[in-house]
Chain A
């Protein structure tokens, strides 16, 4: 068997070392093109290694279910188990490594063209390397502690790269917004991790799953730990209440949006939920499912009306991430992670395509200024079209169709199961989003690439991008089409399902691996309810029926979405969008303003925070400062009193003793006249007195 763990560590070490090197030397150009080609080449090596692992994992040297792990004692916090640094390589890790290194490599390549001539070129590649290293580390981590560290590191590199053009105030604000908003979720994640450590005394995934299997992490604590960890995913994957940072993150360079805010980092939340799939219990799964469904729906409605090409893609990303969460929430592990993979391909392609367009149009991002670009940029337009077809779920030939179909089918199956009729919103939002996705993606395509140029001057200067930019587009566009073909690939007809099987179910007893790859908890039926709800057992007629129905429905919805967009924005009823927008003006304004989420947060959370600051400030000035000053004054008064005591009592006593001695001495000294006769007289008088006393006494 291949030394998987060691290759994986190598994949992590290459970008780390190169980052350290570039961080120091990125301003010196003592090697030709050291900054970009070196980074891109290194990432290419990483990609090669990942593909090598991938090939072997599916070619004869299959990974065991428990994965391959490699551990090193790190430190001890308590007399209990030491915290270990470790690497876990299993099927999920391998597929994530391929996605991360592939998209990284292509984005690096694209950036060579896109960022050409940028004054902070070296810094930019440094940031990218830091991100790739952190993301690889996040995928490789075998315990929650390292997961958290890399989780924060990808957040940091995201912050650095969104704020790449930090001289722009909007970029600055966007980077801070992204960092702080995700941080809110991270607090929840931290709490979740702490609950787990407190309950079972270990961070390791295997210990966590074993504890869940034994039942030593159960009940309310398990629910809260799951919800806490999911909160981290809500922040990082831009789910419903915390999704507001992702559209603003588009202030960063477009390749960064493609890499971090479309393909990999935002998928980290989905990856984490998938990785810890066995930890969650039924209530948590419901929370995940509803969060995903609401996110998918809300973001899709906003994307319908946006004008900025990157904003549409950003909301589309949020919406697709919602799909993945929905899939995981209804227990469809394979569908969620399958969609993660295909989404990484087509969304990276869309973002890089939009980058190519923006580059050609001299950083014009409004679609109302585009039009007719197909004539100028055929490669970009075609790859963009393929990705649009894929994300819309164009039947049978695109990757997006298969992954989305799996999600919708499993969601429908979940709803159709007995006792689940209350969850009608999940499939409703799912299918509604499918229609809207097709519509807004093709609206974007038509507005950008067809029709007459609406800004002839810029159009005149537009031209196809250089090969470093079009090559990634072609590769990703191809993967957007054939990525789903793996489902019918020659290696294994159900390969993704088998790959996507929750890792290491056999680690603990009392659970059975079912054919479809989801968890069925024997003996704790309630816990496994959501998990077992969908996908397991291809033989289950209900599931089969649901998948049939979902497939027809999604084909109809995707095609009708594409058709409506075609009629509205290409040929036919081109006046219709304006008319509809005019007819439902309030709704249009509502969507245009993104459901007023930002305004709502300004009015509530941010205003509340500011008010809290004010109160704290008032409290500081008038209470704390008062107390401090009071303490100071009290000290001063006490010091004064003590000084008084010292000066008067202590010094008085000392001086008094001196004075008493000297005055007594003076007084008695006067008796010493020095005259012999006086002494004699005194003597005589004394003797007479004593004699008299003696006589009187006796």
Chain B
């Protein structure tokens, strides 16, 4: 059985679902950040897969590189936010930091 596009997409979807669940289930900000990384990578897998089985003009790969760069930036900013959050609330539990409550 040859490995096809569907397989990549399934892996990407599973990875996305795991990341999403990680985001929703973890209470610490670090956990949520990890979940986001998983989601981004799921997207990357999809992009690469579409590129490989699609037009073959490296659009997908360029997109993936951008996403990796974005993920790096995002991690840097998110970690800065988490440090700021810890300095404000004394914890990184997002359920405690509910100042936006209506």
Given contacts A684-B20, A684-B24, contact A677 B102 (CB under 8 A): no
* CB proximity of A547 to chain B, nearest CB, Å: 126
Contacts A677-B94, A677-B95 given; indicate if A672 touches B23 (C-beta within 8 A): no
Whether the pair B94, A669 counts as a contact (CB closer than 8 A) is no
The answer to the question of B98 belonging to the interface, with a C-beta cut-off of 8 Å to chain A, is yes
> Is A578 located at the chain interface by the 8 A CB criterion?
no
Chain B 63-102 interface residues, beta-carbon cutoff 8 Å to A: 94-95, 97-102
Once the chains bind, are A674 and B100 in contact (CB under 8 Å)? yes
Residue from A670, A672, A673, A674 having most chain B Cβ neighbours under 10 A: A674
Minimum distance in angstroms from A665 CB to a CB of chain B: 8
CB contacts under 8 Å to B, within A650-683, are 668-677, 680-681
Min distance, Cβ B53 to any Cβ of chain A, angstroms: 24
B32 touches A672 (CB 8 A): no
In residues 23-65 of chain B, which contact A (Cβ within 8 Å)? 23-24, 27, 32
Contact with A672, one of B20, B97, B102 (Cβ below 8 angstroms):
B102
A675 to B32, CA, bound (A): 12
A669 B24 Cβ-Cβ under 8 A: no
Residues in B with CB closer than 8 Å to A684 are: 20, 24
> What is the number of residues of chain B that contact chain A, defined by CB distance less than 8 Å?
13
Contact A674 B24 (CB under 8 A): no
Interface size class of A (residues with CB under 8 A): 10 to 19
A670 lies within 8 A of B23 (CB): no
In the complex, A677 Cα to B32 Cα: how many Å? 9
Q: Does the CB pair B102–A676 fall under 8 Å?
A: no
Contact B102 A669 (CB under 8 A): yes
Cβ of B102 to closest chain A Cβ, rounded Å: 3
Report A-chain residues with C-beta under 8 Å of the C-beta of B27. 677
Within the complex, what minimum Cβ distance (angstroms) separates A466 from chain B? 117
Asked if residues A672 and B101 are in contact (CB atoms below 8 Å), the reply is yes
A677 touches B23 (CB 8 A): yes
CA distance A88 to B61 in the complex (A): 129
Q: Are A675 and B102 in contact (CB under 8 A)?
A: no
Which of A670, A671, A680 sits near B24, CB closer than 8 Å? Answer: A680
The answer on a CB contact under 8 Å between B95 and A675 is: yes
Q: B36 to chain A: closest CB distance in Å?
A: 10
Q: Are A674 and B101 in contact (CB under 8 A)?
A: yes
Chain B residue with minimal CB distance to A679? B100
- Pairwise interchain contact A674-B99, C-beta atoms closer than 8 A: yes
Please report the C-alpha to C-alpha distance between residue A673 and residue B94 in the assembled complex, in whole angstroms: 11
Given A673-B98, A674-B99, A680-B23; 11 other pairs, CB 8 A cutoff = A668-B102, A669-B102, A673-B101, A673-B102, A674-B97, A674-B98, A674-B101, A674-B102, A675-B94, A675-B101, A677-B94
Contacts from A to B (Cβ < 8 Å): 668-677, 680-681, 684
Instruction: Kindly list the 8 A-B residue pairs having the minimum CB-CB distance in the complex, ordered from nearest.
Output: A672-B102, A674-B98, A669-B102, A674-B101, A674-B100, A676-B94, A675-B98, A675-B95
